[in-house]
Amino acid sequence: MTTNHHDANADGRKSSQSFANHDSTSDLVLDKPWMLHPRVSLRPEPFGALAYHYDNRKLQFLRSPDLVDLVASLADFESPRDAFNSQGIDPARWPSFAKALRSLADSKFIQPASRAAT
């Protein structure tokens, strides 16, 4: 059996693009509420975590403890930007986190979260 896996990096490596120059998909990912898919399990590892999706049987490596904390707490925030700020993530790392979140969204590891009207 072949295991599908992808890397979701948020390791702080310098990006050649500034955050402001990311495409509109990046903004869509960062500006709306998300949550971990209920059929995804995170298993802590020394490098971060392994994420396994029980429905599509995909595996992703979350290569940063900060990314693991962020993904696990997405449902607590109105948007990933709010989570970045609340968790004190350095803005220089935001592009790599945005890339990781796009990968997680594309693979259905995170899903849009609905917000109840107050």
Which of 38, 72, 40, 44 has the alpha carbon at shortest distance from 59? 40
74 within some domain: yes
3-state secondary structure (DSSP) of residue 35: strand
Give φ, ψ of 76 to 5 degrees: -85, -5
Per the prediction, the chain carries an average pLDDT of 83
Residue-wise pLDDT tens digits, 74-112: 999 999 999 999 999 999 999 999 999 999 999 999 999
Could you tell me the CATH number of the domain that includes residue 105? Answer: 3.90.930.70
Can you give the pTM of this predicted structure? 0.76
| Domain extent for 78 | 4-111
pLDDT of residue 1: 42
As for how many domains the chain has, the answer is 1
